[in-house]
Every structure is written in structure tokens, then in C-alpha cells.
Amino acid sequence: MGTPLEEVERRMITETLKFTRGDKRLAADLLGIATRTIYRKLESGAQPAEPAPRVESESDEVIH
């Protein structure tokens, strides 16, 4: 409550970009907005998200 809409949008975009490991096209699809909107919001002050750490699965090959 009391958070400006711009900040809410910025947080939602940032968290979605973390989830998509920086894939702006996928993030836009998940948010139901145009990819250009993601770029515009980032240009206007939202910080790009760092990708989430990669979780290895049994099917991933680990090379030493």
C-alpha cells in the first residue's frame, strides 16, 4: 500500500526478468506486455535483473 505504480511495475519486470534469466521476450509474454515496453521501462530507470543461478539437474552433464 502506498507504493507508486511505476515502482510496482519496475519490481514486477525485474522479478520476471530474474525468473526468465534475462529473456526479455519471454518476460514480456509472461507479463502480457510488448517486448518494447520492457525496454522502455528499463530505459526509464528500472535496473536490469541478474539472472537466477542455474540449477543443475540429473540430465546436466558436469565436465571437470
Of all residues in the chain, what percent carry a pLDDT higher than 70?
70
Q: Where are the domains of the chain?
A: 5-43
- Examine the pLDDT at 27 and tell me if it is beyond 80: yes
Q: Give the pLDDT band (50/70/90) at residue 28.
A: very high
Kindly report, residue by residue over 10-21, the tens digit of the pLDDT. Answer: 899 999 999 999
| CATH superfamily of this structure's domain 5-43 | Homeodomain-like (1.10.10.60)
- Which of 5-9, 20-24, 26-30 is predicted least confidently? 5-9
Average of per-residue pLDDT values in the chain: 80
* Cα distance between residue 2 and residue 49, in whole Å: 24
**Torsion over CA: 16, 19, 24, 28 (sign):** negative
